């Protein structure tokens, strides 16, 4: 596939059957193909194994949606998610599918702003707008969506979203005391009941053990990919690594793990041959902060277009999603649910207070990645990340880490200004 002839393939009959706004969605499909071709296929010296992930984008509104519909037909649950707190293993144990529905596109924001306030997080607006405008086949295909009580924008939006699609909300504790864990365990149990209600079946301990292994394998594959990015020169661009992390939220997990490991085999070889996507003198940047939902490639594109390489992301698209594994030793349902609870309680989202383990984690990942500068990325109106950033900045100042703070939304309006600031930051890293 070349930059010019890349397309995201159309499936108008299927979209019509899903009651989508087909003419409007088809325009978005074409635009996505054009942007993808320009940003991704134009990169020099890409690993060959990226062809699988290119194909996943070409079929993002087609073949994968067909797989979801086939699962539904067989009575297997299909669940849309907005947060990495979802214990997805329970859905997989029931033979079902989880798909991330966080919005990363400006295109659906105006649909949301007809209802929601303008001054809330663009990720929430984008996601809500996809459903309100009927311009996302995944939203149209799910049995229900899973929401959570992390930030105010999300939890209040779920009340409105529930009018459009059944929305099951889990209460996420705000602290990590013993009683908070007890409450979260109850929420995990309720979620299992909800999934069992949808598929009219009881999940067995064996099924859950299998699902824990499958999702742990996904985490292990993504950990392997992250470790390879620490090599200098970097064997893969940050843009491609981010893309793979985004695809992790909607691909079939066993197939995805196989493809990521095949890619990592190729990257292993590249590292041995000192073959990189940039020269070893290229500035290396780590990005920390809020998740970047598909197709939010704004920051990575600006950094890498300026000749640098992103070598790690500390966010829910990246390490927060896969850094912790679930204990696989438990064999009883109760033991497995406890193990799930313990693993999910380790996620260091800024919605928790206090959340100092995140500051430690950011520094740990920074050192492991071989980065030479830290870029903190917040979305506009995300108060928890914007405020927690003060501690990240202090920690970086203490360690004399070059630092750039970016707060942005999905519109292209600030691109010129961000470009200037990023170029100045890279000059500082170059010294
Ligand atoms: S565990 S980071 S996926 S909540 S950026 S919507 S917090 S206003 S995304 Fe998140 Fe779960 Fe936390 Fe991760 Fe609100 Fe902030 Fe928007 Fe956010």
- Bridge-partner residues for 240, per DSSP? none
Give whole-number Cα distances, 89 to 55, 170, 208, 340, in Å: 26, 15, 7, 8
Choose which residue among 109, 127, 314, 351 to substitute to test ligand 1 binding: the one with the highest number of ligand atoms within 8 A of its C-beta.
Answer: 351
Return the residue matching tokens 């690594």: 241
Kindly report the protein residue whose alpha carbon is nearest to atom 1 of ligand 1: 349
Q: What is the pLDDT of residue 345?
A: 96
Choose which residue among 85, 147, 316 to substitute to test ligand 1 binding: the one with the highest number of ligand atoms within 8 A of its C-beta.
Answer: 316
**Does 141 sit behind a cis peptide bond, omega within 30 degrees of 0 on the bond before it?**
no
120 lines ligand 1 (CB under 6 A): no
Neighbour tally for 311: CB within 10 Å: 28
Against a cut of 0.85, is the pTM above it? yes
Closest CA to 240 of 430, 10, 4, 42: 42
Give residue 1 CA to ligand 1 midpoint distance, Å.
35
User: Does residue 227 form part of some domain?
Assistant: no
Domain coverage including residue 189: 12-214
User: Does residue 163 form part of some domain?
Assistant: yes
User: CA 61, CA 268: separation in Å to the nearest integer?
Assistant: 32
Phi, psi angle pair for 318, to nearest 5°? -115, -120
What CATH number corresponds to the domain at position 170?
3.40.50.11890
**Residue-wise pLDDT tens digits, 101-144:** 999 999 999 999 999 999 999 999 999 999 999 999 999 999 99
Tally of domains within the chain: 1
Kindly report the protein residue whose alpha carbon is nearest to atom 3 of ligand 1: 83
Give residue 150 CA to ligand 1 midpoint distance, Å.
7
Q: What is the pLDDT of residue 1?
A: 64
User: Does residue 186 form part of some domain?
Assistant: yes
Ranges of the chain whose pLDDT falls below 50: none
316 lines ligand 1 (CB under 6 A): yes
Give residue 392 CA to ligand 1 midpoint distance, Å.
17
User: CA 165, CA 161: separation in Å to the nearest integer?
Assistant: 6
Contact assessment for residue 407 and residue 379, using Cβ atoms and an 8 Å cutoff: yes
User: Does residue 130 form part of some domain?
Assistant: yes
User: Does residue 65 form part of some domain?
Assistant: yes
Give residue 218 CA to ligand 1 midpoint distance, Å.
21
User: Does residue 138 form part of some domain?
Assistant: yes
Closest CA to 128 of 98, 79, 167, 78: 167
H or E element that contains 191: helix 178-199
290 lines ligand 1 (CB under 6 A): yes
121 lines ligand 1 (CB under 6 A): yes
Return the residue matching tokens 């598909």: 294
347 lines ligand 1 (CB under 6 A): yes
User: CA 327, CA 343: separation in Å to the nearest integer?
Assistant: 8
385 lines ligand 1 (CB under 6 A): yes
**Residue-wise pLDDT tens digits, 142-173:** 999 999 999 999 999 999 999 999 999 999 99
Contact assessment for residue 285 and residue 308, using Cβ atoms and an 8 Å cutoff: yes
Ligand 1 atom with minimal separation from the 350 CA: 12
Closest CA to 45 of 239, 198, 213: 239
User: Does residue 294 form part of some domain?
Assistant: no
DSSP 405-424: EEEE-SSGGGHHHHHHHHHH
User: Does residue 428 form part of some domain?
Assistant: no
């Amino acid at each position: 596939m070349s930059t010019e002839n890349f397309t995201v393939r159309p499936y108008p009959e299927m979209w019509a059957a899903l009651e989508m706004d087909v003419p409007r969605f088809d325009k978005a499909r074409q635009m996505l193909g054009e942007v993808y071709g320009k940003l991704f296929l134009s990169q020099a010296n890409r690993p060959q194994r990226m062809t699988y992930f290119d194909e996943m984008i070409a079929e993002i509104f087609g073949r994968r949606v067909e797989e979801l519909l086939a699962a539904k037909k067989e009575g297997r649950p299909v669940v849309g998610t907005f947060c990495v707190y979802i214990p997805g293993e329970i859905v997989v144990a029931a033979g079902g599918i989880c798909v991330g529905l966080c919005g990363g596109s400006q295109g659906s924001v105006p649909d949301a702003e007809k209802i929601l306030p303008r001054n809330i997080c663009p990720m929430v607006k984008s996601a809500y707008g996809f459903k309100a405008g009927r311009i996302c086949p995944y939203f149209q295909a799910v049995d229900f969506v899973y929401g959570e009580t992390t930030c105010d924008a999300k939890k209040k939006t779920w009340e409105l979203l529930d009018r459009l699609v059944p929305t099951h909300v889990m209460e996420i504790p705000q602290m990590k005391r013993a009683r908070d864990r007890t409450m979260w365990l109850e929420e995990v149990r309720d979620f299992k009941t909800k999934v069992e209600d949808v598929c009219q079946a009881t999940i067995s301990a064996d099924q859950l053990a299998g699902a824990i292994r499958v999702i742990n394998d996904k985490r292990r594959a993504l950990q392997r990919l992250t470790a390879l990015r620490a090599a200098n020169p970097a064997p893969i661009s940050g843009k491609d690594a981010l893309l793979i992390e985004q695809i992790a939220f909607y691909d079939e997990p066993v197939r995805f793990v196989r493809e990521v490991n095949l890619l990592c085999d190729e990257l292993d070889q590249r590292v041995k041959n000192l073959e990189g996507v940039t020269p070893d003198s290229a500035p290396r940047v780590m990005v920390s902060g809020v998740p970047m939902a598909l197709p939010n490639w704004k920051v990575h594109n600006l950094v890498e277009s300026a000749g640098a390489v992103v070598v790690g992301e500390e966010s829910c698209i990246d390490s927060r999603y896969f850094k912790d594994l679930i204990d696989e030793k438990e064999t009883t349902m109760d033991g497995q649910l406890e193990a799930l609870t313990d693993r999910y309680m380790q996620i260091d989202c800024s919605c928790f207070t206090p959340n100092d383990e995140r500051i430690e984690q950011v520094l740990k990942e920074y050192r492991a990645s071989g980065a030479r500068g830290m870029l903190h990325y917040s979305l506009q109106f995300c108060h928890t990340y914007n405020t927690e950033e003060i501690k990240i900045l202090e920690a970086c100042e203490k360690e004399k880490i070059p630092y750039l703070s970016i707060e942005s939304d999905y519109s292209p309006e600030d691109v010129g200004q961000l470009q200037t600031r990023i170029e100045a930051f890279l000059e500082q890293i170059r010294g």
